[in-house]
Structure 1
Amino acid sequence: MPNPIRPDIPDLLALRPQAAGIRLHARRIGAPLSGGHVSTFRGRGMEFAEVRGYQPGDDSRDVDWRATARRGKPYTKLYREERERPVLLWVDLRAAQFFATRGCFKAVMASRVATLAAWAAHAQGDRIGGLVFCEREHREIKPRRGKAAMLHFINQLATHPAWDRGYATAIGEADRALTAALERLLRVALPGSLIVLASDFHGLRPEHEALLAQIGRHSDLVFLVTHDPIELAPPAGRFWFDLGHGHERSLDTGNATVRSRWQAQFAAHFDQIENLGRRRKARVLRCATDDDPATLLARGL
């Protein structure tokens, strides 16, 4: 049975067969390409296909001058739309993700859904890269194709120092880490990328929404929002939460007013993310800590 506290490399490798039913589709953008065709991909580049003899109507900018000089008559370079795309997995391992009352930690769920998405991308021949981060360390993974790239992503995720949690985080450190991780993502995301963001989006503020809007202008976004069932519908009782910076907070859900406010707070948080998703035409999936990640992604994507 998979470890509910931290993923290990064999657990993440074992997810590969479960990704068989998952398809990562870019949404239809409707941007015209030369020749009157419609691209289903956003901002995809063009790759060289072959050289043939010049024909009337060919764009002079596509003349292959080397082939022309070598053969004594004009030749044209032909291109095809580049179908291979980068798929970036952005995985949040901040302190708030190390929580669960059922199933596994939110951080573990984020890791599993991101790895399943990566396996699906690998099966489609896409390039796999991403960013795995916590308050203290950001690991950037350059997009590459093939099994070695997949294994590198899994290794970087499973060996991240966040899993050891041998430190306390200072107040404000989690927010700064979120800002830095989004700024890094903005810098590394190539046009036409599919970006899968696995996080509880704790501390999401307007400046973070602005960064996500910039990232989503030229890329497709998928929000995988981790949560524990108690966050949506807490039972009556008193609960203690580790705030991650040497402080704890108690919550008395036996008080109906307190329970109602708590539920309203999380409902507003989900509404914030779903509204952002609608504005960016992004998919938003709620990932509970006791969900089956493969079933969730197969149905939601």
Structure 2
Amino acid sequence: MASLLQRVKSKMAIYAHRKARGMLDGEYGSVFRGRSLDFDDLRAYVPGDEVRDIDWKASARHGSPLIRRYVAVRRQTVLLVTDTGRNMAAVAKSGEAKKDIAVLTLGVLGYLAHRHGDVVGLVCGDSSITRSLPAKGGEQHLERLLRHVDAHTTLDGAPSRIQDQLQHVARNVKGRHLLFVVADELPADAATGQLLRRLRAQHEILWLTVRDADLAPSGMEPADSHGTADAAGTGDSYSVADSALLAWQPAASAAVAAAYATAVAQRDADRKAMLRAAGITEGEVAASDDVITGLFALLERHRRAG
């Protein structure tokens, strides 16, 4: 099997030119690199850097703004938390399998962590089981984590329930970590909101949602938001949660389509409000092509919020 991490590196090379990759790398560093009083080096200012980090004397000598960087206080522990339930084996908005987008996203963030000397661990699972792999460094370890997610996200698995993985973190993970959560479109409720606030009090949290497919996208073979197109090409879909057939034809009705769009917008608004109330920065991706720009925007929003 081809290396999943190599796919991550290839995607980064294809969809982010050298300057953009450098900005993504710098964004990660500016957000999560520990601070101490020990000066490390200077680098060129890029839009979005904190003004307080500008070394004005060095900038005057150099003729352009330079940013001070400091030695990390300690190595960061990054914990990838993801959903490997069968909901994540369904179709994303782009028509790709959600798990392929999730693996790419986890790989990009994990690779950034590796480049900065951070260690990376994994908590993943579904409604029946939660698995945990300890945090370590190195590309081989990151490859194992990505393969674990890829191998355990199947249509034969149990339904998704990211709350179970978050509960596992709350019960078992000591100390302060960076949690990078990649999940399906999480419905908001009071219990989940309380759990998220509890986790945020201890950890730094970034959340990335992989968007569902449209109920009836334009074209001949629509796929349900939690389903997959009929292999026979009939255009029907089924729910991966309970295998129920989901006929798409009613969405041809303007009234039904409008009601569905309203319900989706309300669900999104409720999720965003729940995460915002917990102090968690959220981003969204709908396709593998969105991952680099989506992750950069997520890191930038988190830095500005913090």
What band does the TM-score fall into relative to the shorter chain?
0.5 to 0.7
Match of 1:220 in 2: 204
CA deviation after TM superposition for structure 1 residue 119, in Å: 0.6
Match of 1:182 in 2: 166
- Give SS of 2:123's match: strand
RMSD of the TM alignment (CA)?
A: 3.2
1:178, 1:226 → 2: CA distance?
A: 13
Among candidates 246, 251, 261, match of residue 249 of structure 1: 246
- Is the counterpart of residue 12 in structure 1 residue 5 in structure 2? yes
- Is the counterpart of residue 83 in structure 1 residue 87 in structure 2? no
Matches within 5 A, 1:1-301: 10-16=3-9, 18=12, 20-21=21-22, 22=24, 23-24=27-28, 82-100=73-91, 102-160=94-152, 162-163=153-154, 165-166=155-156, 169=158, 174=160, 177-228=161-212, 230=214, 234-235=217-218, 239-251=236-248, 252-289=250-287, 291-301=289-299
What is the one-letter code of the residue matched to 2:120?
I
- Give SS of 2:156's match: coil
Residue by residue over 1:133-167, the C-alpha shift from the partner in whole angstroms, topping out at 9 and shown as x without a partner, is: 1344422111122334323312322332x33x336
Normalised by the length of structure 2, the TM-score is 0.66
2:214, 2:90 → 1: CA distance?
A: 11
CA deviation after TM superposition for structure 1 residue 217, in Å: 0.8
Larger radius of gyration: 1
Is residue 242–residue 249 contact of structure 1 (8 Å, CA) maintained in 2? yes
- Give SS of 1:142's match: strand
**Between Structure 1 and Structure 2, how many residues are aligned?**
237
What is the one-letter code of the residue matched to 1:10?
S
CA deviation after TM superposition for structure 1 residue 246, in Å: 3.2
1:248, 1:24 → 2: CA distance?
A: 43
More helix per residue? 2
2:74, 2:244 → 1: CA distance?
A: 49
- In structure 2, the gaps of 5 or more residues are 14-20, 37-70, 223-234, 300-306
Is residue 111–residue 198 contact of structure 1 (8 Å, CA) maintained in 2? no
Query: Aligned in 2, Cα 1:185/1:156: closer, same or farther, shift over 3 Å?
Result: same
Is residue 91–residue 111 contact of structure 1 (8 Å, CA) maintained in 2? no
What is the one-letter code of the residue matched to 1:284?
E
Match of 1:5 in 2: none
Residue by residue over 1:171-207, the C-alpha shift from the partner in whole angstroms, topping out at 9 and shown as x without a partner, is: xx54xx4332121121244443111111123444321
Is residue 129–residue 144 contact of structure 1 (8 Å, CA) maintained in 2? yes
CA deviation after TM superposition for structure 1 residue 27, in Å: 5.6
Query: Aligned in 2, Cα 1:25/1:285: closer, same or farther, shift over 3 Å?
Result: farther
What is the one-letter code of the residue matched to 1:14?
R
CA deviation after TM superposition for structure 1 residue 290, in Å: 5.4
Match of 1:64 in 2: none
Residue by residue over 1:213-250, the C-alpha shift from the partner in whole angstroms, topping out at 9 and shown as x without a partner, is: 1111121111111114525x844987533243232222
Residue by residue over 1:245-275, the C-alpha shift from the partner in whole angstroms, topping out at 9 and shown as x without a partner, is: 2322224211222112211222122212222
Query: Aligned in 2, Cα 1:213/1:153: closer, same or farther, shift over 3 Å?
Result: same
1:220, 1:256 → 2: CA distance?
A: 43
Is residue 103–residue 290 contact of structure 1 (8 Å, CA) maintained in 2? no
What is the one-letter code of the residue matched to 2:136?
R
Residue by residue over 1:7-58, the C-alpha shift from the partner in whole angstroms, topping out at 9 and shown as x without a partner, is: x652333313628443435869xxxx9xxxxxxxxxxxxxxxxxxxxxxxxx
Query: Aligned in 2, Cα 1:219/1:116: closer, same or farther, shift over 3 Å?
Result: same
